[in-house]
Chains A and B, each alone.
Chain A
């Protein structure tokens, strides 16, 4: 199976091609230029390096979020459009799971996270099973770091935190878990993307595929607080005219 994998959920950009789980070519870009400029040219370069024609792509794996709202929209829009127009399979994977997959040979719980400002993080908890596959232990969520640290206590497992901007959180983490392993890394590798996406379910309705924001917009949150449950049931907001 010929695979194209895409991740622009945080600052780095990762594009990879693989045949089954074997990576053929990849582009990792941590430069400052925006994903909206780099994404499609990077896909073009990597796919052509691989020797694939566009129509050779059988499956597109995309990091669906959480992450930067704009970043996950760029990748998801590109991936769903490509999958639909090339008649390829589409697979969405958690961008936190991809980050967790960067940690290998750790038997405890892996806690990948992205900074979500104001003391909040996007985080999940993952653990390798006996077969070496990553299993989700605690669902990805938007959570205050202090609440996350409290939750983790119930797991009674050695912990490995992975993410970027650790300087902000290192002391807080170590104050609660002095033995925790801390990995300063936020580059999703092509191998991590493909390993997870190869074994994940295929999206059935590409049309309805959207990013996992894990956070409502401020405007919708404030609006919802003032509405009756009757009003909230209606979510028919788009009309073809």
Chain B
């Protein structure tokens, strides 16, 4: 069988990315234009601004992706695009671009769930063995996903309120760290001490769900209280306490999931998978019971190569989209329905 080259588009949030991926496993190019500097002006992603930037970047990225991969349209087997979840205005730019290329060159179109993309970034560095468990952690998601077989996903647990990356950004803002705050908090966490012992929400509850709004409030209260009574705060200690809290919860729930759903591999995906504290803890505590797959940093954040990786699975199953494909900002996986009873 000849090689399957897929041109993939990703524009669900504030990165415009276009990639060429071979057989779902090999990245031939993966161009990423990030808008972070723009949104730093506002302390977070402004959807209308993000949509405008995507229009400015889309050809530039596509041009480079084809050039770097050294391919032409006749070499391609399909065009893939993220159609959700994400910001609707942002998603639409990648979607229109992908449809235009697909139609112009009579190439089949493949719609990709952004979360499936994050998980399948793993296939770009190792081969996924089914069933696998995925911990998807990002600014928009905190989910434990059971990957039963190729392209078959079930949510075992997710967040009841904030996503983990969102909690990092909100706490970061309180500590005076500019958006996005993950990297700095991670760094400070390695330099401070866990002196505050914030509450671990839902840690002992008999389910696989998360909650991060409580810890956010606990940090606010601590900072307010310190201000009122005039004691100084060691921000690094707050960062360490906060990160320890978050990691304890993520580790405990992942352990619980592994216990109920024995798998060979744990895939850690999404932007927060770049967190070094998380990587260290998972290595220390889980490496002896399960194979850990951490995509490299460039494949953890939003990128189109991961979209091309998952699109290959749909390509093999002949799951193509029509030109009516629409953006679905709240697209998600199915929930596992026998989950509660198993616990």
Q: Please give the residue numbers on chain A whose beta carbons come within 8 Å of chain B beta carbons, in ascending order.
A: 34, 36-41, 43-44, 54, 69-70, 73-74, 76-78, 80-82, 84-86, 206-208, 210-211, 213, 217-220, 223, 236-241
Contacts and interface: CB of A to CB of B under 8 A. Distances in A.
Given A40-B323, A41-B323, A81-B97, A73 B89 contact: yes
A207 to B, nearest CB: 5
Contacts of A210: 52, 55-56
Contacts of A207: 59-60, 63
Given A77-B93, A210-B52, 15 more contacts: A40-B99, A40-B100, A40-B323, A44-B323, A78-B96, A78-B99, A82-B103, A85-B101, A207-B59, A207-B60, A238-B35, A238-B56, A239-B36, A240-B31, A240-B34
Nearest to B95: A36
A70 B37 contact: no
Given A77-B55, A217-B48, A217-B52, A36 B38 contact: no
Contact of A81 (B31, B89, B101, B324): B101
A206 B63 CA distance: 12
Contacts of B326: 34, 36-37
B39 to A, nearest CB: 8
B100 A85 contact: yes
23 contacts: A36-B96, A40-B96, A41-B324, A54-B106, A70-B51, A70-B89, A77-B55, A77-B93, A78-B100, A81-B101, A81-B104, A82-B103, A85-B73, A86-B104, A210-B52, A211-B55, A217-B49, A220-B49, A236-B37, A237-B41, A237-B53, A238-B53, A238-B56
Contact of A223 (B41, B51, B62, B325): B41
B255 interface: no
Given A37-B324, A86-B104, A74 B96 contact: yes
Contacts of A220: 41, 46, 49
Given A37-B324, A37-B326, A207-B63, A74 B101 contact: no
Interface residues of B, number: 46
Contact of B104 (A82, A211, A217): A82
B35 A81 contact: no
A206 B250 CA distance: 46
B41 A240 contact: no
Nearest to A80: B59
Contacts of A38: 324
Contacts of A39: 96
Nearest to A234: B37
Given A81-B58, A240-B31, A36 B105 contact: no
Contacts of A206: 59
A207 B97 CA distance: 13
Interface string B93-120: 1011101110111100000000000000
